[in-house]
Structure 1
């Protein structure tokens, strides 16, 4: 069923998220040829500069869809085997039996059993985000740290495994996608960032999307505020941040317009072959970083409500920035929403995030955007 864009409802819904406590957010919703762009709140809490819908933004793990698409292009061309062990390509990074047991597919869908490297790279984050005594100090310590991907991968590979290769549910881990970046480098002879830029970003005609080498966001953008579950109060500005800590797993900069264009083209079979797109939409259960079990494909996951159409896309968070981009399976209805505050929920005595009005207001905006 098609619900035309209700602009007044979308205007009200985005304003309600700002009123619930989010400094600023902006979005684009598309239905066929109809386009709504909206923004509410401020891009800078000091100056009061308003957010606008064309701002460039750190989109976090949405990067994973771009990286997965790049790998699947190499699968399409016969350079990478989806079910080939990663040890055949990168024996020095995933040696011995694990290299033989973990396939490329298991890296893309997070069923490799490889642990997350983040708590080892950022010691004060500990068991992010489950422990109430987690501290934010590492964020300040590493604003301009240049991480070596091989060192981060080693942290994840040498840490205790979180599951057996291929076992369900998988466990979401950025280690998988750093390895995919090294795999792309190995088979293409160029960096993952350069390959993705040339063969995914430029192929899709995205004008405001880039994988940055440095710590700054060029062009019009919002400041990005991290609350770290109320432990940073008031929330601190982490806009300038070296993104080598997450590389091809989460360092992309984009706009809501570019994201809708990208996912529309991907689901239309214009970025990878139809057979690879079908593989991307084969899901397995995966435990997310928030501890929820979600269905996850190859760099894509579905979102739907009972009796409603299925949407495909990805979400992403980095320090201070959050984004969600979802496109209906038929490609007609799309939404991309970006926010400039993260981890606004305070933690209870057991370390669990407490409900916050922002959560309900965002959920209402998602419903208005996806289903009218």
Structure 2
């Protein structure tokens, strides 16, 4: 962790569990202005780790018979995904990103539209929308009306937040509660997570770090985005949690205590998906696997927001876990082809993950 800090990360904190042993640590600062140190118990925006929580809430409704996993989304939300696409795209395809629906974010944040073209992407929209209250239906429409990125069920799929905003609307349609209420009641409270929430406003309650966004060196020095209206991602990436809560959640999920064994088996059936970074990964239903030089496959999710990030991974047998949070994002500069250049932080984080997961 010291190596990650020396490589340029302002602050990071983690919890690692091995059987009954628990290790927590924190290195660096939560506030560059005051020098306030990070601590391992800070609450943090964990980005797309939210997707595991949303997927679990949907699968609970599948178990109860209110949602068909392989039913067309048009059966439930014909006004949002009309016609042939609504008939062809299933709930499963939304959860595992094989729907072919485009990402809405470049349309909601127009200065990012040509990303990763270094001549075109600019961070201006990040400031323009700091306090914008987005309507999820309008964001979904941007993704649905944009050119498709694939055919329904095609491989590889393409990772898209549009899918998970639709899942939020699906939960609302079948339960009569908002997606946030449904996920809170049936996932967060079921797991006994006391420091985890889907926030209604722009602020992180309780002790937390500032979140520094570099946008590939275009914001220099990096700017604090810890105060931000998260309605632009909602049930896709708005979750606030702690490293301890994340480890508790994934341990319970993989033990079959959040969804039943058959649902967990579905979550661990993977397909090939192109990530937002342009890499092809294996992706299940709100979970993805990581394999390294040590024993066993790890399951979990990573996530980023403007300025913050986290990764949570649990070994399939539940006997070893890692959750790591960082307070700087997009630290790499882009090369002439628009791809992020290698940065010392990348290698230092990879080494940390290896040690945390495999000893």
Same fold per superposition (TM over 0.5): yes
Q: How far off its partner does 1:129 sit? A: 3.4
Cross-structure match for 2:148 = 161
What is the rounded CA distance, in whole Å, between the counterparts of 1:333 and 1:127 in structure 2?
A: 40
258 and 132 in structure 1: CA distance in 2 versus 1, 3 angstrom threshold: farther
Contact 1:132 1:348 in 2 (8 A): no
1:58 aligns with 2:22: no
SS at match of 1:316: strand
1:176 aligns with 2:163: yes
Per-residue CA deviation, residues 296-316 of structure 1 (Å, 9 max, x unaligned), is: 000000001256411000000
Q: How far off its partner does 1:132 sit? A: 4.2
Cross-structure match for 1:318 = 305
Q: How far off its partner does 1:350 sit? A: 1.1
Q: How far off its partner does 1:183 sit? A: 0.0
SS at match of 2:133: coil
Alignment of 1:194-213 (within 5 A): 194-213=181-200
1:110 aligns with 2:110: no
Contact 1:114 1:156 in 2 (8 A): yes
1:71 aligns with 2:55: no
What is the rounded CA distance, in whole Å, between the counterparts of 1:85 and 1:173 in structure 2?
A: 18
Per-residue CA deviation, residues 47-103 of structure 1 (Å, 9 max, x unaligned), is: 000000000000000000000000000001111000000000000000000000000
1:259 aligns with 2:246: yes
TM-score by length of 2: 0.99
Cross-structure match for 1:4 = none
1:299 aligns with 2:286: yes
What is the rounded CA distance, in whole Å, between the counterparts of 1:162 and 1:133 in structure 2?
A: 21
What is the rounded CA distance, in whole Å, between the counterparts of 2:322 and 2:246 in structure 1?
A: 9
CA RMSD of superposed structures (Å):
0.7
What is the rounded CA distance, in whole Å, between the counterparts of 2:344 and 2:119 in structure 1?
A: 21
Contact 1:43 1:49 in 2 (8 A): yes
1:138 aligns with 2:129: no
307 and 16 in structure 1: CA distance in 2 versus 1, 3 angstrom threshold: closer
Per-residue CA deviation, residues 209-257 of structure 1 (Å, 9 max, x unaligned), is: 0000100000000000000000000000000000000000000000000
Q: How far off its partner does 1:120 sit? A: 0.1
Q: How many residues align?
A: 359
Cross-structure match for 2:212 = 225
TM-score by length of 1: 0.96
Q: How far off its partner does 1:127 sit? A: 3.4
Contact 1:129 1:290 in 2 (8 A): no
Cross-structure match for 1:191 = 178
1:48 aligns with 2:23: no
Alignment of 1:352-367 (within 5 A): 352-367=339-354
Contact 2:109 2:125 in 1 (8 A): yes
What is the rounded CA distance, in whole Å, between the counterparts of 1:239 and 1:254 in structure 2?
A: 14
130 and 331 in structure 1: CA distance in 2 versus 1, 3 angstrom threshold: farther
What is the rounded CA distance, in whole Å, between the counterparts of 1:202 and 1:117 in structure 2?
A: 30
Please, which of 138, 150, 160 is the counterpart of residue 151 of structure 1? 138
307 and 28 in structure 1: CA distance in 2 versus 1, 3 angstrom threshold: closer
What is the rounded CA distance, in whole Å, between the counterparts of 1:328 and 1:295 in structure 2?
A: 16
Contact 1:109 1:298 in 2 (8 A): yes
Contact 2:118 2:336 in 1 (8 A): no
What is the rounded CA distance, in whole Å, between the counterparts of 2:54 and 2:302 in structure 1?
A: 14
What is the rounded CA distance, in whole Å, between the counterparts of 1:348 and 1:95 in structure 2?
A: 40
Per-residue CA deviation, residues 15-48 of structure 1 (Å, 9 max, x unaligned), is: 1100110000000000011000010000000000
Q: Which runs of 5+ in 1 are unaligned?
A: 1-13
SS at match of 1:299: coil
1:92 aligns with 2:79: yes
